[in-house]
Structure 1
Amino acid sequence: MPSATDTYDYIIVGAGPAGSLLANRLSASPAVRVLLLEAGGEDNYPWIHIPVGYLYCIGNPRTDWCFQTEAQPGLHGRRLSYPRGKVLGGCSSINGMIYMRGQARDYDLWAAQGNPGWGWDQVLPLFRKSENHFGGNSPAHGGDGEWRVERQRYHWPILDAFRDAAEQCGIAKVDDFNTGDNQGCGYFQVNQRNGVRWNSAKAFLRPILKRPNLTVLTKVTVDRLRFEQGRVVGLEADWLGAKRVFNARREVVLCAGAIGSPTIMQRSGLGPRSLLERLGIAVRRDMPEVGGNLQDHLQLRLIYQVTRVRTLNQVAGSVWGKMGMGLRYLYDRSGPLAMAPSQLGAFVKSDASQPSANLQYHVQPLSLERFGEPLHSFPAFTASVCNLRPLSRGSVRIQAAAPEQAPSIDPNYLSHPQDLHVAAQAIRLTRQIVQAPALARFAPVEYLPGAQLQTDEQLQEAAGAIGTTIFHPVGTCRMGSDPSAVVDAQLRVHGVAGLRIADASIMPQITSGNTCTPTLMIAEKAAQMILHAHNWQAPNAVGQPREVETAVG
C-alpha cells in the first residue's frame, strides 16, 4: 500500500480507455514508476462482460456516474441521463463496443488547424499498434495489439432487410468502416473476444498488473492538482476515506474524460476566471475554454413497428425466450445476449453538398421508450441517426469547489440552426430508406416521431422531442495552437508545466463516428510523446523493456 509520501514518475488520473493504455505503455520500461488512479471500482460486475448487459450497467450507480444534463431548450426542456463509466475500463465497460476510427478527414482537419502530427497518415499507425483485428495484419489493420476486434456473432433478418433497403436508396454495402472513408452500410465490428465484452482493463491492465513499477488504485477521488513554483508536482485526493497526497516527479496526465478532466482542472484553479471566483477558488490561470467546446452526437431514435418478423422485443418478452437466450449464450457465446446494442450501421451524406458522410445510423432490432425502460410489447426496430459534425457547442462547469458535487453538463443540443436543418434532413432520409422495397414485406409503420409530421418546422420540433445523447462527449480541453486552446499538439497544458491531458476532451472537433477507439489512439500518441520528451526508451524489438539513463524534464 502506497504511503502519503510516495513519489512516482507519472501519475495518470482515470483508468478508462486512455488511462489503461497509457499506464501500459509508460510502465513498459522498468525505469519508469507509474501510478494509475481510478475513481470507480473494479470491473467485476457480471453484466459488464455479457454484451447485452449494457442495459443493466447504464443508469446503475455501481457502474455509471449517473450524471444528468441541464434542461435543454433544444430538447423541449428535457434533462438527459449522461452515462459515464464508473469502473476500471471506464466507458469501455458500459459502451456499445463498436470499433470505429472515424474518417481520415477528421484528423487531417485537426492537423490543418495547427496540430502537427495529428493527420490521418500519422495516426493510422497508432490505431494499428493497439489493434488485434480478426483479419490479422494488413495495410488498414493491426493484428498484434491488445484491443480485440471481431465480427458480430448474431444477425437478424430485419437488419439484413434494412441494409438491402439502404442499398436500394443508393447507400452501398461495405464490409469495413475503418479505412478512412466510412461511407456506406454494413455491420459494425466490435470489441469482443468470443462473445464477451473486451474492455480496456482486460486489454491493457490485466496483463501487466504484476509489474513492480505500476500501482493501480481504485475508488480514489481526485480533488485538485498540487503546484510548486507554477509547476504541477502531484495531486490531492480522497482514498479509503482519508485525504492523501500523491507526488509526481515528471508529469501528471489527466485521462478522466471530457467530463472529469475539465472539472479537475477547474477545481485546481485552471479555468474561466468568472466561474472560479464565484466559487471561491484561487485563479492560477484564467483559461476560459476549460470545460467549453463540449460536443456530442445527438441521436434521433426513429421507431418502426413491423409484422411477420421477430425482433428482440418478442424474443426477450417471454420467459421461454429469455431461457433460450441464456442457454444459447452458455452454449457458444452467441445469440441475443452476445449482441452489441447496435449491430448494423450506415454512414451517409445528408445532402450532396457535404464533403463526406455526415450522418451515422445505429440500427437495432428492438425498441423501447428510453434506456432503462422495458422493451415494447410489439415487434419493432429502431433506426437511430445522428449528425456527425454538430455545430452546437456546450460546456461542463463545476458547481462547487468540492469534488462530491456533480458538475453542470450543458451540451446545448440543437442550438445551432444548421443542426436543426440536418435533423430534418436525417428524418426524411430515414423515411426514404424504410419505404424502400426491401422492407415492404414487413409493413413498417412509423411509431416515432409519427408519419403525420411533414414540414421542416414539424420535423425540427420532432427532433427536439425524440433526440437523446449517444454518449460521445468530447472537446472540453481543446487541442490547438491558438491562445484559447487548452493543450498544444504535444498535449501539454498551455502555460502549466508538468501537466498533460490525454483523452477525448482534447479533440478540437468530434470524430465522425463512435469515440472510444479515437480516444485510445490519443493515449497511444501521448505515450510516445511522453517517452520521447523524457528520454525513456520504449521496449526493444522482442518486447523486452530496456532501462536507460533518464534526463531531467
Structure 2
Amino acid sequence: MQDLGSWDYVIVGAGSAGCVLANRLSEDPGVRVLLLEAGKDDNYIWIHIPVGYLYCMGNPRTDWGFKTAPDPGLNGRSLMYPRGKVLGGCSSINGMIYMRGQARDYDGWRQLGLAGWGWDDVLPYFKKSEDHYAWADDLHAQGGGLRVEEQRLSWEILDAFREACAEVGIPKTRDFNDGDNFGSSYFQVNQRAGIRWNTAKGFLKPALKRPNLKVVTEAHAQRIVIENGHASGLELTIKGQPARASIEGELVLAAGAIGSPQLLELSGIGNPDVLRKAGVTPQVTVPEIGENLQDHLQIRTIFKVRNAMTLNQMAGTWFGKAKIGLRYMLTRSGPMSMAPSQLGVFARTDPSFETANVEYHVQPLSLDKFGDPLHDFPAITASVCNLRPESRGHCHITSPAATDHPTILPNYLATEGDRKVAADSIRLTRRIMEAEALKTHAPEEYLPGSELTSDGDLARAAGDIGTTIFHPVGTCRMGVDDASVVDGRLRLRAFEGIRVVDASVMPAITSGNTNAPTIMIAEKGADMIREDRRRRRAAA
C-alpha cells in the first residue's frame, strides 16, 4: 500500500468547493494540504469550449455517470445525473451560470439557528471569490478567483420573450445577484473571453506553486479510518492501486451531495439499517446522512416559432455548423460560446409568494431530450423550475464497494404543493407566450400540449417532460438540532476530525443555480477551519 504520508488537511474532491479550499488553506505556509481528485486533470478541450458541456456530461472522462432510480414523480422514469469527475468538478461541466440565490435563502438558514449564515454574513464571501468584469461596489467585487462576464451573443427571439415577460408583470432587471432576483435578464456566466472559467483555473492552479500543497488525481477515496473517536486516516486507490494518507488535523469532504454521503456511509457512518443492508458494519450512527436530498426539477416546455432564427436552423446543416465553428475560432463568440441557457427569468406563479418561486432557463433551440439532435423546425425551450421544492429524496450506498454507484432517488413532485407549482408554471409560460411581444412569432405549443389544462393533467405532464437541472444539495444537512449531520461550523457532529464543505450541507436549496453558493460555502468554510486551528493552537 502506497503511503502518502501525514497531512494537516486532507481534502476529498477537487471540484467547485475543493479547489477553493485547497487554495485558501494552503495560504498558511505552516500547514500541509493534500487534495485528492478521483478524476483526471482538466486538460480536455471540451471542458474549455463552453458548448463542450454537451461532450462532458455523460462522458466517463469527465462525469461520474450517475443515474437516478426510477422516480414515481417522473412516472417511473430514470434520469442521467451528471456530476463532475475531473479537476474543477461540476464547474468543469456545468452551465457556467453565476447565480447567488436570494437573500431570503440565507436569512432562512440563520432563522434555523445557524448564526453567521444570513445574507449579510455570506455576501462578503460571495464578493471575496468574485472577479466581475465590470462591477466593483457594495454587491460585487473584482480580483477574486471566479471570473464573471456577460455572454457574447444575443437572440432576437429571446429579446421578444423578455418583452413578453414585461407585459405579464415580470420586469427587466440588470442584476440577478443583488439579493432579489425577480425579473428577466441574460445570465452572467463564469467565462473569460468566451472560454469556460472553472475553479481549477481560478483557485487551484494559482496555488500549485506552493510547496505545502500536493494534488493527486485519479485518487478514489474508499474508507475513512476512525481511531479513538477521531478520523486518523483515509484509505484510497490511486490509478487502481491501494494507498493511505494519515491525518494530523482534519479530513475535509468536498465530494458533493452524492460523493460526500457515499464516503461517510462506506466508512460505517450513517443509518445502521442502511449500512447493514449494503453490507457495511455500522461504526457511528448518523441517521440523516444521505437524506434531505433536494434538487431543481426543470419542466421543459417547447414552443414552435415563426419569423425567428433559432439554433435549430442555424446548426441544422454541416455548412451552418462550419460557420458556427469558424465564428468561435475567430471571435470566441456565437453559439459555441453559449451557456446551455442564455436568458433567465425569475417569477412568481402566485402573488402570495414573497419572492420569485420559479426560474426559467430559456434557450433558442429545442430537442426531445439531452443528447438528441435538434428539431428540424424553429423552436425555443422555456424550461421552468420550482426554486424551493418541498419534496425530499435520498442518496444511499447499496454495497461496500466504492466503485458501485449509490441509489439516488430525488423523489420529485412528491407533494401536493410541488405538483401545484408545476401546473401553475406551465400556465405562466403559456401567458408569456400569448403576450403581444411574441405575436409576430406565432408560438405553437409543442410540449406539453395545449390540450392539457387541469392541475392533474399538467402535473402528470411535468413528470413526463421534467428533468434535473443538476442542482443536488442537502444530503449532509447543516443544523443546530441533534439530528443534523454537521453543525454551523461544518463539523461532523458524530466525532472529531471531519468537516463537510460542499453543497451537501445546505439545509434548504438556494433559489437559483447552486455553483456560486457552493463556492461561497467553501470560502466561508476555509475561514472557519483556519480560525479553529488558530484557537486550538492558542489554547494549547
Task: Give the TM-score normalised by structure 1.
Answer: 0.96
Q: Tell me the SS of whatever aligns to 1:20.
A: helix
Aligned equivalents of 1:55 and 1:435: distance in 2? 31
Q: Tell me the SS of whatever aligns to 1:207.
A: helix
- Residues 229, 458 of structure 1: CA spacing in aligned structure 2 closer, same or farther, 3 A cutoff? same
Match of 1:290 in 2: 289
Instruction: Give 1:509's aligned amino acid.
Output: A
- For residues 193-246 of structure 1, the C-alpha deviation after alignment (integer angstroms, 9 at most, x for no partner) is 000000010000111212110000111110110111010012100112221110
Q: How does 1:206-285 map to 2 (within 5 A)?
A: 206-285=205-284
Q: How does 1:57-456 map to 2 (within 5 A)?
A: 57-456=56-455
Q: Tell me the SS of whatever aligns to 2:413.
A: coil
Aligned equivalents of 2:241 and 2:305: distance in 1? 56
Count of aligned positions: 540
Aligned equivalents of 1:296 and 1:93: distance in 2? 20
Aligned equivalents of 2:4 and 2:331: distance in 1? 50
Match of 1:542 in 2: none
Aligned equivalents of 2:297 and 2:156: distance in 1? 27
Aligned equivalents of 1:218 and 1:272: distance in 2? 30
- For residues 420-467 of structure 1, the C-alpha deviation after alignment (integer angstroms, 9 at most, x for no partner) is 010000000000001101111011101100111111111111111111
Aligned equivalents of 2:439 and 2:464: distance in 1? 27
Match of 2:521 in 1: 522
Contact (CA 8 Å) 1:396, 1:410: kept in 2 or not?
yes
- For residues 258-278 of structure 1, the C-alpha deviation after alignment (integer angstroms, 9 at most, x for no partner) is 000000000111111101122
Deviation at 1:325, TM superposition (A): 0.7
- Residues 71, 552 of structure 1: CA spacing in aligned structure 2 closer, same or farther, 3 A cutoff? farther
Deviation at 1:552, TM superposition (A): 7.9
Aligned equivalents of 2:178 and 2:139: distance in 1? 6
Contact (CA 8 Å) 1:59, 1:372: kept in 2 or not?
no
Match of 1:541 in 2: none
Gaps of 5+ in 2: none
Aligned equivalents of 1:448 and 1:227: distance in 2? 52
Instruction: Give 1:108's aligned amino acid.
Output: D
- Residues 414, 137 of structure 1: CA spacing in aligned structure 2 closer, same or farther, 3 A cutoff? same
Contact (CA 8 Å) 1:162, 1:433: kept in 2 or not?
yes
Instruction: Give 1:95's aligned amino acid.
Output: N
Aligned equivalents of 1:292 and 1:100: distance in 2? 25
Q: Tell me the SS of whatever aligns to 1:250.
A: strand
Q: How does 1:453-468 map to 2 (within 5 A)?
A: 453-468=452-467
Contact (CA 8 Å) 2:285, 2:494: kept in 1 or not?
no
Aligned equivalents of 1:160 and 1:203: distance in 2? 32
Instruction: Give 1:375's aligned amino acid.
Output: L
Match of 1:37 in 2: 36
Contact (CA 8 Å) 1:58, 1:372: kept in 2 or not?
no
Deviation at 1:279, TM superposition (A): 2.6
Aligned equivalents of 2:399 and 2:498: distance in 1? 23
Contact (CA 8 Å) 2:101, 2:179: kept in 1 or not?
yes
- Tell me whether 1:501 sits opposite 2:486 in the alignment: no
- For residues 372-410 of structure 1, the C-alpha deviation after alignment (integer angstroms, 9 at most, x for no partner) is 111111111000000000000000000101101110000
Q: Tell me the SS of whatever aligns to 1:302.
A: strand
- For residues 141-188 of structure 1, the C-alpha deviation after alignment (integer angstroms, 9 at most, x for no partner) is 011211000001000101000000000011000011000000011111
Contact (CA 8 Å) 2:277, 2:398: kept in 1 or not?
no
Aligned equivalents of 2:183 and 2:448: distance in 1? 25
Q: How does 1:476-515 map to 2 (within 5 A)?
A: 476-515=475-514
Aligned equivalents of 1:407 and 1:476: distance in 2? 13
Q: Tell me the SS of whatever aligns to 2:17.
A: helix
Instruction: Give 2:213's aligned amino acid.
Output: L
Aligned equivalents of 1:178 and 1:253: distance in 2? 29
Gaps of 5+ in 1: 537-548
Aligned equivalents of 2:198 and 2:116: distance in 1? 27
Aligned equivalents of 2:514 and 2:35: distance in 1? 22
Aligned equivalents of 1:75 and 1:413: distance in 2? 7
Contact (CA 8 Å) 1:152, 1:339: kept in 2 or not?
yes
Contact (CA 8 Å) 2:20, 2:203: kept in 1 or not?
yes
Aligned equivalents of 2:27 and 2:346: distance in 1? 38
- For residues 463-516 of structure 1, the C-alpha deviation after alignment (integer angstroms, 9 at most, x for no partner) is 111111000000000000111100000000002100000000000000000000
Q: Tell me the SS of whatever aligns to 1:300.
A: strand
Aligned equivalents of 2:280 and 2:384: distance in 1? 41
Aligned equivalents of 2:91 and 2:404: distance in 1? 24
Instruction: Give 2:3's aligned amino acid.
Output: A
Deviation at 1:5, TM superposition (A): 5.1
Contact (CA 8 Å) 1:267, 1:281: kept in 2 or not?
yes
Deviation at 1:551, TM superposition (A): 5.5
Aligned equivalents of 1:279 and 1:52: distance in 2? 39
Q: Tell me the SS of whatever aligns to 1:12.
A: strand
- Residues 283, 518 of structure 1: CA spacing in aligned structure 2 closer, same or farther, 3 A cutoff? same
Instruction: Give 1:512's aligned amino acid.
Output: S
Aligned equivalents of 2:170 and 2:240: distance in 1? 55
- Tell me whether 1:471 sits opposite 2:495 in the alignment: no
Q: Tell me the SS of whatever aligns to 1:92.
A: helix
Aligned equivalents of 1:552 and 1:416: distance in 2? 50
Contact (CA 8 Å) 1:136, 1:144: kept in 2 or not?
no
Aligned equivalents of 2:42 and 2:336: distance in 1? 19
The alignment yields a C-alpha RMSD, in angstroms, of 1.3
- Residues 212, 551 of structure 1: CA spacing in aligned structure 2 closer, same or farther, 3 A cutoff? farther
Aligned equivalents of 2:70 and 2:172: distance in 1? 39
